[in-house]
Structure 1
């Protein structure tokens, strides 16, 4: 009979266990604030710019333009972003944070910081740095570019 490795022998098993816990807790914290993880990532991506074309945002987030459009519609309905038509091209528009959206980003970022501290605060500063370095290195080596949205 062929030997079969135990589930817990796989690094991916442990990575998924931690990732699921971190992600699910963060999603619950964001839901209490009325946004999803994908909406948070969208808002944060717009925070450092005055405005951005949906196609550029789709590329930055690793999403389709259709998915960006659906997210934008939800965030417009929530009053967190604006869609501004381009006066030179009626088919083009840009997306930007509203005043309310700009004010919410630091609040949501603090939740992200607190969530990280809750999970990774049990590690020493050196261990946290090493883990971050290893994960970034692995993502770079594997060519991973899409933003995690769930």
Structure 2
């Protein structure tokens, strides 16, 4: 089996190509894919503590701190101390952040449809099912 035939390498290569394409689409909005994932996750699960965000997006605390700082500086989120535990920060989207999520969600959905356009609806669902199954085993 060649490297090109290994599932891990194939998934990595496809993920990298999708990442670059979406990053290019988001560039005009001044947001990276990593920042988008953090913002979208905060919007979906708010209020969310910074530690929970790190766990959800599977990034280390330092990376998440940088992402959160950037999103806060852009005015997309608010970060406030958790009244029950001042060591934790609670993250919430701002109106600007919610507007950004709405605009970028449409772009992201369009990109998703484009990437999956080579597959039938049944194949798309089968791909999702298989990827979830692989992820659950890891």
Does TM, scored on the shorter chain, surpass 0.5? yes
- Structure 1 length-normalised TM: 0.80
Q: Distance in 2 between matches of 1:54 and 1:134?
A: 30
CA distance, structure 1, for counterparts of residue 124 and residue 2 of structure 2: 27
| Counterpart residue number, 2:100 | 104
Aligned mate of 1:69, from 62, 65, 68: 65
Structure 2: distance between partners of 1:9 and 1:93:
44
Whichever of the two has the greater Rg, that structure is: 1
Q: Which has the higher helix share?
A: 2
Which structure 2 residue ranges, 5 or more long, are not aligned? none
Q: Which residue of 1 aligns with 2:55?
A: 59
Greater relative CO (CA pairs within 8 A, separation 6+): 1
Instruction: Work out the CA distance in 1 between the residues paired with 2:102 and 2:119.
Output: 25
How far apart, CA to CA, are the structure 2 residues paired with 1:35 and 1:133?
Answer: 30
Matched, 1:136 2:125: no
Q: Give structure 1 stretches of 5+ with no counterpart.
A: 143-150
In structure 2, how many angstroms separate the alpha carbons of the residues matched to 1:51 and 1:37?
21
Q: Which residue of the partner structure matches residue 85 of structure 1?
A: 81
- The number of residues matched between the two structures is 138
